[in-house]
Amino acid sequence: MSAARDFLFDLSGISLPQSGNYTWKSPSNIALVKYWGKSEPQIPKNASVSFTLSQSHTVTRINFEKKALTEERRLQIFLDGALKESFRPKVAKFIERIKEYVPFLDFYHLGIHTHNSFPHSSGIASSASGLSALALCIMSLEKELNPKMGEVYFKRKASFLARLGSGSACRSIEGEIVVWGKHEAVQNSSDLFGIKLTSDIHPVFHQYQDTILLVDEGEKEVSSSLGHHLMVGHPFAEERFRQANDNLKKLLVVLKTGDLDEFNRIVEGEALSLHAMMMTSQPSFILMKPNTLRIIEKIREFRKNSNCKVCFTLDAGANVHVLYPKKELDPVKAFILSELLPLCQHNKFIQDASGPGASQFLEDYF
């Protein structure tokens, strides 16, 4: 069983390069069984499972430049070529949290260039894709310092580091289906990193479609940190954690059998349970908008009338992820365009699907 100490790095006798740069593309993900509630340092109160997305991703390059020991680190972050001072505090906090595991960062100035394939405030988890991409770039430098490092360790430590920035980021290293959180039904599962599910996955879940309906493109009403904190002392918290772990166990069976009716029941129940926790917290929040509810009602009506195995899920916001098997792309897409798109802000949506996880760019992307 892995422990945090397994990811410490010994700098003794290591010769650090003067400079270097690494570029990774890392996806966002959408949780099927949600994690909501954590303890420090970024330990989930229940296990979760997600689809890794294929189109909604962040590409990040880190330039490492050796600094003098007496120099303060220079940390610059660029989004699409423009300097973003507003990003600096979060990245600086992330680097501070991981520094005992990657002490070589103390010897470098850092220049970070990043690009998202999806619009800001679209409801896609940019912290998941962004921080996992950062972690992978940092691990590429560690791999250069320790060439004997194996692929399993590389990915687990990248997931471990990403988790310390954003819990859901640890599920963005691999794909298509990733579990995070210790669970008796998942061998090698851990609270410290996500693991890829590989065995006995039914073919229907390969390239599972996710059409993301942008009901509200505004800033998030509730940050993830605040949302998780609201679970502390919540009267239904312990029952929610038990429910999520039970649902994950049931979903593991579904992922083997391909029972899409049961898949839809679990996934929709998880989404509504997450929002129920927010509506019954103190203070309480109603994150769904009127059009969110209209979309949910239309999806259920279409499913009943067409027998298409389509369902919805939600993150902590108003936007709707419409999930369905690839073989039903044509009828479901036609339904979305005719019935659901008018309920989206500016008729906007993102077409996505489950995918393989992060990949490294060996040539310069920027």
Query: What backbone phi and psi angles, to 5 degrees, belong to 233?
Result: 80, 5
Say what the pLDDT of residue 123 is: 59
Cα 322 versus chain centre, distance: 17
User: Which residues, listed in sequence order, are joined to residue 351 by a DSSP beta bridge?
Assistant: 211
Higher pLDDT, 339 or 200: 339
Which tokens hold the place of 224? 């993830």
146-171 residue pLDDT tens? 999 999 999 999 999 999 999 999 99
Say what the pLDDT of residue 147 is: 95
Mean pLDDT of 106-132: 87
Pairing label, strands 75-79, 108-116: parallel
Does the pLDDT of residue 318 top 80, yes or no?
yes
Mean pLDDT of 13-40: 95
197-224 residue pLDDT tens? 988 899 999 999 999 999 987 666 777 7
Say what the pLDDT of residue 100 is: 96
SS3 content of the chain, % helix, strand, coil (to 5): 40, 25, 35
CB atoms within 10 A of CB 153: 18
C-beta separation of 125 from 28 below 8 A: yes
The Cα–Cα gap between 47 and 44 comes to 7
CB atoms within 10 A of CB 304: 9
93-102, 214-223, 308-317: least confidently modelled range: 214-223
Say what the pLDDT of residue 363 is: 82
The Cα–Cα gap between 249 and 183 comes to 8
The Cα–Cα gap between 255 and 138 comes to 33
Say what the pLDDT of residue 339 is: 98
pTM equals 0.95
Say what the pLDDT of residue 198 is: 86
Does the pLDDT of residue 1 top 70, yes or no?
no
Mean pLDDT of 300-329: 96
Does the pLDDT of residue 58 top 60, yes or no?
yes
By CB neighbour count within 10 A (0-12 exposed, 13-18 middle, 19+ buried), where does 157 fall? buried
Say what the pLDDT of residue 121 is: 59
The Cα–Cα gap between 273 and 34 comes to 9
Mean pLDDT of 167-193: 97
Say what the pLDDT of residue 222 is: 74
Which tokens hold the place of 6? 């397994």
- SS3 call for 197: coil
Mean pLDDT of 251-271: 98
Say what the pLDDT of residue 125 is: 62
Say what the pLDDT of residue 215 is: 94
Say what the pLDDT of residue 113 is: 97
C-beta separation of 21 from 61 below 8 A: yes
Percent of the chain at pLDDT > 70 equals 97
Does the pLDDT of residue 87 top 60, yes or no?
yes
User: Which residues, listed in sequence order, are joined to residue 324 by a DSSP beta bridge?
Assistant: 209
Number of H helices, E strands in the chain: 8, 14
Does the pLDDT of residue 136 top 70, yes or no?
yes
Gyration radius from the chain CA atoms: 21
Say what the pLDDT of residue 30 is: 96
Q: How high is the mean pLDDT of the chain?
A: 94
